[in-house]
Amino acid sequence: MTEIDVQVDLFHPADRVWHALTDRALLARWFTEVEPMAGGRDRLLLFTAGLPGFDAAVDAEATDRREPELIALRCLEGGRRSRLTCAVAPTAEGCRLSVREVLEHGGWAEEQREGREESYRQALTGRLPAILDWLAFRQVDLRRGEAGMTAEMPVTEGVDDEPAPARRRWPLLVGGLTGVVLVAGAAVWAVLPADPEPVAGPAPAPSPTATATPSRTPQPTPSVRPTRSASPSPSRPSRTPSATPSATPSRTPSSGAPSAPALTARYETVSTRLLGYTGEVVVDNPGGAAVNGWKVVVTLAEGGSLTDVSGAEWRQEGQVVTFTGPSVPAGRSRTFTFAVRDVDPLTRAPEDCALGDAPCAGL
């Protein structure tokens, strides 16, 4: 039995994830467009034709629905029948979404199965978190003192008795804040130290000039230079051949070391979202022999954490994440991706990436 299983940890509550799974407008934003079909409200047509791993649109019918925990679909696509299950389980930091598709009739080629799995993975680790972040942003509690959350700015009703005092307080408040800013700026400007002038540089200039004049004057002594040049002359020919053979063999082994198979790594940010991004690292083996095992160390920005990894084993200690993987055949490569949740919306890549002592290209 052929199956596809993809999991992702999300920093959002289960009800928000359920909303993104079942709302047709939101589903079109992170996966594909959906239209209801005749024959029941639980039948949907998913326009998946053109996505990697899909041959045609999918005729899906909901067979199990338990909000906000599970939804199961019986899917028909190009003569194949499969069962697609989306399960949402709460976690300490949000929830875990597990998507599992089991083929019940027909078959997938290996390349098609891999493309289908990659379509699910990219949607779940890239576009879905972006939609969830957008939903969370809309639900920010702007009132802060009232229960519940709102996506609209609070509007106060006008009262005919007291419009003027309320409006007069705004110019006073703005004027007061402007005064505070100006005073604070003047205070900071006043205590800033003046730029030091580079007066120490010219001072040493005259002293070398004065000392250089007497030191150069006694040097031209004709009796000293001929004596010294004559005595080392017989020894110099003997040193010249001895240095040449010693340098040649010492450089031979050092120049031969890079010819051994050496791995290289290159980094690329493949997708971004409001509070995070997805990075990809390709480990290349340009040598003529396989290299057993590799280790890539990635340093995330402060506050960043991994939510999903594909293609490598990993462990995170603080902001440092260590990725390891199997051997890389000669002339081949290994690729792994990782999804990062970051509290800074401007962060779009890790701070550092290195394979051994060599930095990753592209970062």
How far apart (Å, rounded) are the C-alpha atoms in residues 104 and 98?
Answer: 19
Count Cβ atoms within 10 A of the Cβ of residue 186 and give its class: 0-12 exposed, 13-18 middle, 19 or more buried. Answer: exposed
Q: Residue 212 pLDDT > 50, yes or no?
A: no
Mean pLDDT of 336-358: 91
Domain ranges within the chain, ordered by starting residue: 3-138, 264-359
Q: Residue 155 pLDDT > 90, yes or no?
A: no
Q: What confidence score (pLDDT) does residue 319 get?
A: 93
Alpha helix (H) residue ranges in the chain: 14-22, 24-30, 110-122, 128-138, 163-191, 206-216, 224-230, 235-256
CA trace torsion 331, 337, 342, 347 (10° rounding)? 40
Alpha-carbon distances of 262 from 98, 294, 331, 334, rounded to whole Å: 38, 10, 11, 14
- Which stretch of 68-82, 133-147, 225-239, 300-314 has the lowest confidence by average pLDDT? 225-239
Q: Residue 246 pLDDT > 80, yes or no?
A: no
Q: Residue 96 pLDDT > 60, yes or no?
A: yes
Strand partners, 294: 325
**pLDDT digits 0-9 by tens, 163-205:** 444 444 444 444 555 554 454 454 444 444 444 444 444 444 4
Residue 157 — very low, low, confident or very high, per pLDDT cuts 50/70/90?
Answer: very low
User: Of the candidates 5, 4, 8, which has an alpha carbon nearest to the alpha carbon of residue 308?
Assistant: 8
- Which stretch of 7-16, 124-133, 205-214, 343-352 has the lowest confidence by average pLDDT? 205-214
Q: pLDDT: is 58 or 171 the higher one?
A: 58
* Token pair of 279 as six digits: 């990075």
Query: Could you tell me the fold of the domain covering 3-138?
Result: Alpha-D-Glucose-1,6-Bisphosphate; Chain A, domain 4 (3.30.530)
Q: What is the CATH code of the structural domain delimited by 264-359?
A: 2.60.40.290
Q: What confidence score (pLDDT) does residue 175 get?
A: 53
Mean pLDDT of 215-219: 44
Q: Are 353 and 266 in contact (CB under 8 A)?
A: no
Residue 343 — very low, low, confident or very high, per pLDDT cuts 50/70/90?
Answer: confident
- Stated pTM of the model: 0.47
* Token pair of 358 as six digits: 């060599």
Task: Decide if 3-138 and 264-359 have a common fold.
Answer: no
Count of Cβ atoms closer than 10 Å to residue 331 Cβ: 13
**pLDDT digits 0-9 by tens, 271-323:** 988 788 999 999 999 998 999 989 999 999 998 999 899 999 999 999 999 99
Q: Residue 35 pLDDT > 50, yes or no?
A: yes
Report the mean per-residue pLDDT for the chain: 75
Q: What confidence score (pLDDT) does residue 202 get?
A: 44
How far apart (Å, rounded) are the C-alpha atoms in residues 179 and 144?
Answer: 28
